[in-house]
Copies of this chain bind each other. A is one copy, B any other.
Amino acid sequence: MAVQLRRSHRDLSWDASTEAPRQYYTFAHPPCELVLDSGQKLGPITVAYETYGQLNAAGDNAILIAHALTGDSHVASHAPGEREGWWEPLVGTGRAFDTSRYFVVCSNVLGGCQGTTGPSSPDPKTGRPWGMRFPVITIRDMVRVQRHLLDYLGVRRLAAVAGGSMGGLQVLEWAVTYPELVEKALVFAAPGRISPQAIAYNEVMRQAIMLDPAWQGGDYQPGQGPARGLAVARMLGMITYQSCESMNRKFGRAFRGRIPTDYFSFQGQFEVESYLHYQGQKLVRRFDANSYLYLTRAMDLFDLGLGRGGYEEALKHIQARTLVVGISSDILYPAALERELVEDLRRVGVEAEYVELQSPFGHDAFLIEFEQVGAIISDFLWKG
């Protein structure tokens, strides 16, 4: 996993039926480690990524797509029969992110657990997993890593950066950190700095993980991590990604079990409880608990103004044409925060637009309402 594939970006064609679509790039070998926001150095860093379409000779038809908290580089499948990606209907020939026109890149974030260096990666000094000795990272650090990857791939300018939720935070960070590289910024369900309410949810999720005795201060063996704690964290996450209305529609007060026997016992479960437990268990199979701690902390720390002389000063850096999409029923990053962001952007002279996605599905709507999302993306990308 940590092995650098020594192929140049000119050698990206492959047959999906015979080769895994995920590729790896390793950089920041000592003594040239990456300097993080914290001042700590980290290296070598491996980044897992997937690409779609072809980079043009000028290197300026690339679109970077950034994933959300538990997402990964698999934004779409590369060939029929392959596992579907999280924005499957939006990436491909003739789709919103048209791969006959654009070179689409999606990488797993720094601190993650899907092939990119994170707390479950081996600390080169000891050979053992970093655990909680991994440095605290920021959204800006994730973006720095993506920048290195794009340089390696030969990308000279981004036609667009796009993403939702934690992906949207990365988009904003890209537009502020590398203004000259980003032509268009497409932000779904993400504010310019994280609200105390969102920090509060994150802290409760972290506490649930650390409450599980199997967490052991982060030094668990692979496959023996705090499964129950991570599942509880995910259960809470899932509530904040949905809405009162969507849960009413989906579950109502339906009860799994016999009434009255189970109804009046702690054995019985409402459908909504059963669903949350299922989602919790499902995440445990594919996600690392320490990564969950580091990535939620990176979100808490997200504030475009940090170290830039304040929030407004930071926004002034942005040169990209920016589209911010709020979701009408979002309880995690309420639409009001995205409207506020657009007002703030306009006040400092950034060319920013606001669109509200009308949906009962809450925060996750950007992963569900493909028709609306696709239309919004297409419109924005085709605009002069």
Q: Write the residues of chain A forming the contact surface with B, with a CB cutoff of 8 angstroms.
A: 36-40, 132, 135-136, 138, 193-197, 199-201, 203-204, 207-208, 211-213, 228-229, 231-232, 235-236, 238-239, 242-244, 247-248, 250-253, 260, 263-266, 270-273, 276, 293, 297, 300-301, 303, 331, 334, 336-337
Contacts and interface: CB of A to CB of B under 8 A. Distances in A.
A101 to B, nearest CB: 39
Contacts of A247: 195-197, 200
Given A39-B260, A196-B252, A228-B211, A334 B244 contact: yes
9 contacts: A36-B264, A39-B260, A39-B264, A193-B253, A196-B271, A203-B276, A207-B228, A208-B208, A263-B301
A38 B264 contact: yes
Contact of A211 (B232, B244, B272): B232
A288 to B, nearest CB: 16
B136 A235 contact: no
B136 A253 contact: no
A197 B239 contact: yes
Contacts of A208: 204, 207-208, 211, 232
A305 to B, nearest CB: 9
Contacts of A250: 196
Contact of A248 (B138, B196, B231, B303): B196
A212 B232 CA distance: 12
A199 B265 contact: no
Contacts of A235: 200, 203-204, 207
Contact of A236 (B132, B204, B276, B336): B204
Contacts of A201: 239
A136 B276 contact: no
Contacts of A37: 260, 264
Contact of A197 (B194, B244, B263): B244
Contacts of A303: 253
A224 B30 CA distance: 50
Contacts of A204: 208, 232, 235-236, 239, 276
A136 B260 CA distance: 11
Contacts of A260: 37-39
Query: Looking at A38, A200, A300, A334, which has the most chain B CB atoms within 10 Å of its CB?
Result: A200
